[in-house]
Structure 1
Amino acid sequence: MNKKQIIVMSILVSLMIILGITQSFFKESFTQVVLVENGINEFKEYNFEDGKYTFSLPNEWEVSEKQSIGQYISYKADFKDKENKITGYLQVIDTQSDLGVFAENDLKNLPLTYTNEQITPFKFQNVSGVLSQYKTKVKKGYTFENICYYLNGDNGKTIKILFNIKEDYYKENIKTVLNTIVSKVKIK
């Protein structure tokens, strides 16, 4: 390489590093803007099973926790936003099933008729698992976008986080809110 090529190469590498740093800054800012746009300012942390698990939900949301529901479900927290446009729950389920197989079986056992189902692996920040998305319609005429995350817990446990969003409220940026909530699940 001659001197000119080395200079050009150094400039390109420097620009790539600057772009990488800038991108992470804008991604974090974008997430904050989406949260504020959806009325979320602060998160409240919940822990269960003697602090082994923690998760955070928007401070404005209503949450009701239930410990030891049965042998199959050891913990459940129902939640909803203040306008009742997003509802759902977090469950800790005792199962030895693979996440993908469990997600498929869970969908097949759904009592409601569903359409547009998709089951895919996901990974963001420090969390990975299986994502199940589908639509349901209830008798009162509401159609819901259902987004369900399945995470590996410890000792054969699966963490299931289901969000039901009224279709007329669903926007593509709502996934940023849901991903933020799911990324706050911690297993100690």
Structure 2
Amino acid sequence: MNEHKQRVTIAVVLICLCTVLFFSGMLFKNQLRTVALINNNISSLKKYEAKEKYTYSLPENWSTEEENFPGNVILHHNSFKNDKVDMNGYIQIINSKGSIQDLIGQDKENLNSKDVSAYSAKDIKLNGKNAKKIGYIEKLKNGKYYTKRVYYIQLSEGIIFKGCFNINSDNYNESLDSVYETIMESGKYM
């Protein structure tokens, strides 16, 4: 009986330790994102509203330009850039009858005519939702290399939140992925 009590005690201690580690990890992850924002000279985020149904945030110091497209596929498009680090990209809200996988397939086909290397696709979780993270390096005609990250999240039925981030590969650092994911997690359906 004494041996049984020891096993139960050890099991309880291990469960408590795992619980503490889990919550510490969540706290640590949030602090890492804050540090990543600060390290990349981002002091605050500005909230944007699209079609009175969707919101998201971008760094306040990035310049933005909203564009309208004909039809009802691209519901919202906001291009952004940060000249200090040679970064640009866009946020889109897409009305899609297909899946995220279909949209990724179309986007990948468009890359066939470009000089692309190190293509990768990864399943991730953002705001508790399944998301896709695509990464690759593109060599432009001017000889510069750009590290690109594209994220896709299903906000609601038929609505995909897409973010594309391009940065000169000389200026890329891994902490930028935390910045990108913070931006993507700000996407909400109201």
Query: Given the two structures, how large is their TM-score scaled by the length of structure 1?
Result: 0.88
Equivalent pairs, count: 186
Shift of 1:78: 0.4
Match of 2:133 in 1: 131
Alignment partner, residue 59 of structure 2: 58
> Paired residue for 1:119, among 113, 116, 121?
121
Q: CA deviation at 1:94?
A: 2.8
Within the alignment, does 1:163 sit opposite 2:139 as a pair?
no
Whether 1:91 aligns to 2:92 is yes
2:18 matches 1:20: no
Q: CA deviation at 1:153?
A: 3.9
SS of the equivalent of 2:165 reads strand
Residue type of the alignment partner of 2:127 = Q
Structure 2 gap segments, 5+ residues each: none
Shift of 1:158: 2.5
Are residues 156 and 19 of structure 1, via their aligned partners in 2, closer, same or farther at CA, if it must alter by over 3 Å? Answer: closer
Q: 1:70: which partner in 2?
A: 70
Contact 1:88–1:163, Cα closer than 8 Å, also in 2: yes
Aligned-residue offset at 1:87: 0.7
- The amino acid that maps onto 2:55 is T
> 1:82 deviation in Å?
4.6
Give, in angstroms, the shift of residue 155 of structure 1.
Answer: 5.0
Q: Kindly indicate whether the alpha-carbon contact (under 8 Å) linking 1:60 and 1:82 is maintained by their aligned counterparts in 2.
A: no
Q: 1:41 is paired with a residue of what secondary structure?
A: coil
> For 1:171, what is the secondary structure of its paired residue?
coil
Residue aligned with 2:170, SS: coil
Higher helix proportion (structure 1 or 2) = 2
RMSD: 1.9
Alignment match of 1:33 (pick from 35, 46, 68): 35
Give the counterpart letter for 1:142 in structure 2. K
Q: Structure 1 pair 173/151, CA: closer, same or farther in 2 (3 Å)?
A: same
1:135–1:145 Cα contact (<8 Å) kept: yes
SS at match of 1:168: helix
1-structure distance, mates of 2:187, 2:46 = 12
Q: CA deviation at 1:18?
A: 2.1
Equivalent position to 1:46, from 48, 51, 60 = 48
Contact 2:133 2:152 in 1 (8 A): yes
> Which range moved further: 143-152 or 113-122?
113-122
